[in-house]
Amino acid sequence: MSTAENFDAVDIIRVKRDKGILSPEQIDWTIDAYTRGIIADEQMSALNMAILLNGMNREEISRWTAAMIASGERMDFSSLRTPAGGVKATADKHSTGGVGDKITLPLAPLVAVFGVAVPQLSGRGLGHTGGTLDKLESIPGWRAALSNEEMLAQLQEVGAVVCAAGTGLAPADKKLYALRDVTGTVEAIPLIASSIMSKKIAEGTGALVLDVKVGSGAFMKNLEDARELARTMVDLGTDAGVNTVALVTDMDTPLGLTAGNAIEVEESVEVLAGGGPADVVELTVKLAEEMLAAAGVTDANPAAALKDGRAMDVWNRMIEAQGGDPRAVLPVAKESEVIVAQQDGVVTKMDAMSVGVAAWRLGAGRARKEDIVQAGAGVRMHAKPGDTVKKGEPIYTLLTDTPEKFARAQEALEGSFAIEASGNYQPTALILDRISR
């Protein structure tokens, strides 16, 4: 190691291994040295595992997040102006990922209706969880890559943008994320929270609403862990001066009636037209209310803006501004297969993970970042828990361009839903908790 370095990686590892607390200077050096290549991957892997096993306190996580932000650029939206000439408020939302989670699509234009700018930096899907950019790229002509200047111009003119994050935001996180993925340390709550929040804080938004999913189809499987993650991220946002609120929401059951790319866009447009599945509408409206309140707007009626077409108007302008044609026909899968009910009764279960894996296997998702997704692939759900069905009626329609994928998708869906003749179905709440500072 260079004699110019302030610390030694092995000493840092030992502190966490022995359940000690890293100093601010040690944390700053660790993130900087790893970004520069001074700390080797195997050393950072050991430190990540020590963090997974022994945790971090609030001050450590906050400093770790700040150091990751400092590894790159920070965006600045202070040049955005209201019609009266004041500084325009900004608000963003982040979901920890789920199945059928297309909420960003109707939510961003809905919030923009009320004069709050929405700079939504989104990602692509990996595994069973869908990616917002993959969904939007099923719209002919739409492009995810925007320069900072293009993003600012669109926020000023349209009020909402959904695009890919630039390479300049939190580059330390990109290295750490890839390493965590292959070393069994993805589950470390301090590392999850700092990964998400370093990008969101660097993005420069004034208010942030977090949708922390919990259940079968979510990253967090139990409510206690989901609450801990939500609390940790709210604390990080608060420490960084960002007005942050988290909702903990159910992901045992898929959101809406579609899991895929083009079919989720289609469903989002239905919501923007004043229709769509009740759960998607409920969560979209609730998150919009939270974002607007966090940005200081308390007299808005998001539900009305979905019904009267104002949100659809912003959606059309947002898609057009990024080269897309909001009126174009969306891609349709070449092949389909239907799975039907084997008895009369009430649907009492629909497992989100099973549906997500089936959509992934049909071609809607990717196993590696470089994989190509099929725009039309996915799963349509014809019934959800609480619905009454008759024998022979469709439960799922599987969609793909490659029919050889049907068999493995059907395997994923075996036992994924339950039908009971008695109909003893007790609905669960969609929003399980709200966590604020």
Per the residue annotation, which of 71, 195, 198, 216 is the catalytic one? 195
Q: What angle do CA 149, 198, 57 make, to 5 degrees?
A: 165
Residue 369 falls in the annotated catalytic set: no
Per the residue annotation, which of 28, 92, 173, 351 is the catalytic one? 173
Per the residue annotation, which of 199, 200, 213, 310 is the catalytic one? 199
Asked if residues 80 and 117 have their Cβ atoms less than 8 Å apart, the reply is yes
Helices and strands in the chain: count of H runs, count of E runs:
16, 13
- Token representation of residue 186: 């993805």
CA 271, 273, 274, 275: dihedral to nearest 10 degrees? Answer: -60
For residue 411, the tally of other CB atoms under 10 A from its CB is 12
Phi/psi at 138 (nearest 5 deg)? -75, -10
For residue 196, the tally of other CB atoms under 10 A from its CB is 23
Per the residue annotation, which of 180, 200, 213, 286 is the catalytic one? 180
Q: Pairing state of beta strands 394-400 and 335-340?
A: antiparallel
Residue 16 falls in the annotated catalytic set: no
Residue 180 falls in the annotated catalytic set: yes
Residue 173 falls in the annotated catalytic set: yes
Q: What angle do CA 368, 373, 378 make, to 5 degrees?
A: 115
Per the residue annotation, which of 94, 124, 128, 200 is the catalytic one? 94
What is the C-alpha separation between 152 and 394, in angstroms, rounded? 46
Residues assigned a catalytic role = 94, 173, 180, 195, 199
